[in-house]
Amino acid sequence: MDIRLAQRIAQLPPYLFAEIDRAKKEVRARGVDLIDLGIGDPDTPTFPHIVRKMQEAAENPAYHRYPSYEGLPAFRQSVARWYRSRFGVALDPDTEVVSLIGSKEGIAHISLAFTDPGDVNLVPSPGYPVYNIGTLFAGGTPYFLPLTRESGFLPDLDAIPNDVAKRAKLLFLNYPNNPTAAVAGREFYERVVAFARRHNVIVCHDAAYSEIYFGGPPMSFLEVDGAKDVGIEFHSLSKTYNMTGWRIGFAVGNAGVIGGLGKIKTNVDSGLFEAIQIAGIEALEGDQAPQAALREMYRARRDVLIGGLRSAGFDVVAPEATFYVWIPVPAPHTSSAFAKLLLEKVGVVATPGNGFGEAGEGYVRMTLCLPEGRLQEAVERIRGAKLF
């Protein structure tokens, strides 16, 4: 039988983290003790009070049936209360909130709701690969917005050609940013709202890392006047509450955009297990002290990794948020060549920056998702190897 992939699959680049997993397996097979700073997956467990609530809810037969497509009303109301408390943003839980099976699911599906073949989506580079992949699945054309150190890793919206802006349907943004760890402020978001109004573009802001910060709390895009008129914000409980495996997130904002995303969801999934949504309510409304402790843990890890890398000669900026460190690679190495060198020579896994887009060339990304001792060992291996 001649089995051929659909063109939409054949045109996709290899998924970055799947490629890294294959390389890690090969090195591990040689008996190397790998220190994996590649994928951003919290290494500490979900907070105990959330787990207990899930255990209790899972035993309730009321939650064993099909859930609602849009999300349990109580969960959406909880999201709205959290947004009011955290950001001062008012949301209608019935029309401006939708539950997601992790924010990745919503990000992947939003293009199907609004992007027709031939339309353009504005995609940051470097950026989370799903912005590009979702665009390609919908038959759209990505137009990449380079994020550079000189610009504070913010896109230059004025540099977008007018003919491109006219064809654009979606503008993807992500702050605090993966992979660069950059943070955006009010002035930038105000420019985004003005751009979106001028060109009739839907803003899709990914705020999954808003609660992992080391200075002042990052703001929501929706805090800016007019933001809800032009876009939505994706959020997740994955990083905030160590719930990556639970697959629970939400999108909030413009009712028309939320409704369009909801129409896709009613046709492709049957909603999010309601017991998980009950646990999500506990996360949002329960004890927040563990979250503050989590930030302090990442701060300590950040300082270990940054201090060690600087002592090894790297010109690296300490992140203000996220659990990522964006590291310029030493000349004359490329991103991929240096990541390979780290993997094979010292057994340290880093993600090559060009895997997040062409503008990520010249960097590797490391995460803070390992204990301080392992981070210290990683930098000692790097220092000892004298890689440059």
Q: Is 286 exposed, middle or buried (0-12, 13-18, 19+ CB in 10 A)?
A: middle
- Residue 92 in tokens: 């209608």
**What is the Cα–Cα distance from 110 to 260, expressed in whole angstroms?**
8
| Predicted confidence (pLDDT) per residue in 188-232, tens digit | 999 999 999 999 999 999 999 999 999 999 999 999 999 999 999
CA nearest neighbour of 255 among 94, 134, 101, 81 = 94
**What is the Cα–Cα distance from 92 to 364, expressed in whole angstroms?**
41
- Start-to-end CA span in the chain (Å): 51
> What single letter denotes the amino acid at residue 159?
A
Buried b vs exposed e over 182-192: b needs ≥16 C-beta within 10 Å? bbbeeebbebb
**What is the Cα–Cα distance from 129 to 185, expressed in whole angstroms?**
23
| Predicted confidence (pLDDT) per residue in 233-267, tens digit | 999 999 999 999 999 999 999 999 999 999 999 99
Q: Rounded mean pLDDT of 92-98? A: 98
Whether the pLDDT of residue 347 is over 80: the answer is yes
Whether the pLDDT of residue 119 is over 90: the answer is yes
Q: Rounded mean pLDDT of 359-378? A: 97
Structural domain boundaries in the chain: 7-45+289-385, 48-285
Which of 16-25, 48-57, 174-183, 354-363 is predicted least confidently? 16-25
Q: What's the pLDDT at 17?
A: 67
- Residue 368 in tokens: 């803070």
Query: What's the length of the chain?
Result: 388
How many Cα neighbours within 13 Å face the side chain of 13? 16
Q: What's the pLDDT at 166?
A: 95
Query: Greater confidence, 23 or 55?
Result: 55
**What is the Cα–Cα distance from 13 to 28, expressed in whole angstroms?**
25
DSSP 45: P
Fold of 48-285: Aspartate Aminotransferase; domain 2 (3.40.640)
Q: What's the pLDDT at 16?
A: 65
Helices (H) and strands (E) in the chain, counts: 14, 12
Enumerate the H helices of the chain as residue ranges: 7-10, 16-28, 48-58, 73-87, 103-114, 129-137, 162-167, 186-199, 227-230, 255-268, 274-285, 289-311, 335-341, 372-385
CA nearest neighbour of 320 among 218, 223, 235 = 218
Q: What's the pLDDT at 15?
A: 66
Q: What's the pLDDT at 41?
A: 95
Q: What's the pLDDT at 2?
A: 84
**What is the Cα–Cα distance from 88 to 76, expressed in whole angstroms?**
16
**What is the Cα–Cα distance from 12 to 9, expressed in whole angstroms?**
5
CA angle 310, 314, 315 (to 5 degrees): 95
pTM (two decimals): 0.95
Whether the pLDDT of residue 21 is over 80: the answer is no
Q: 7-45+289-385 belongs to which CATH class?
A: alpha beta
CA nearest neighbour of 12 among 145, 171, 129 = 129
DSSP 172: E
Q: What's the pLDDT at 26?
A: 83
- 369 phi/psi in degrees, rounded to 5: -95, 40
- Residue 344 in tokens: 């094979």
Q: How, if at all, do strands 249-253 and 97-100 pair?
A: antiparallel
Q: Could you give the percent of the chain with pLDDT greater than 90?
A: 88
Q: Do residues 262 and 232 make contact, with C-beta atoms less than 8 angstroms apart?
A: no
Q: Rounded mean pLDDT of 319-344? A: 94
